[in-house]
Amino acid sequence: MKIRCIANTGTSLPENYLYPAVNRTTETVFRLTVGKEYVVYAIDEAEGNVWYYICDDNFI
């Protein structure tokens, strides 16, 4: 499965996805390129939130 990045900052996340203890805040900038497609390697659901596991732009 592939997904396309539509935003790369924490300000775009719903509040229930923010978690300051792991540096996921409105200030966070994710290492993703808006408009780029990413391969999804896994999908998880935790506490009603869906997570896609991808390799970000720093993956070598």
User: Quick check: 60 pLDDT over 80?
Assistant: no
pLDDT tens profile 17-36: 999 999 899 999 999 999 99
Share the mean pLDDT of the chain.
Answer: 95
Instruction: State the Cα–Cα distance between residues 11 and 43, nearest whole angstrom.
Output: 22
User: What residue has token string 């203890």?
Assistant: 21
pLDDT at 7: 98
The alpha carbon of 22 is separated from its chain's Cα centroid by a whole number of angstroms, namely 13
Other Cβ atoms closer than 10 A to 13: 17
Residue 40 confidence (pLDDT) above 80: yes
Compute the distance between CA of residue 46 and CA of residue 25 in angstroms, rounded to an integer. 18
Quote the pLDDT of residue 21: 92
The whole-number pLDDT of residue 4 equals 98
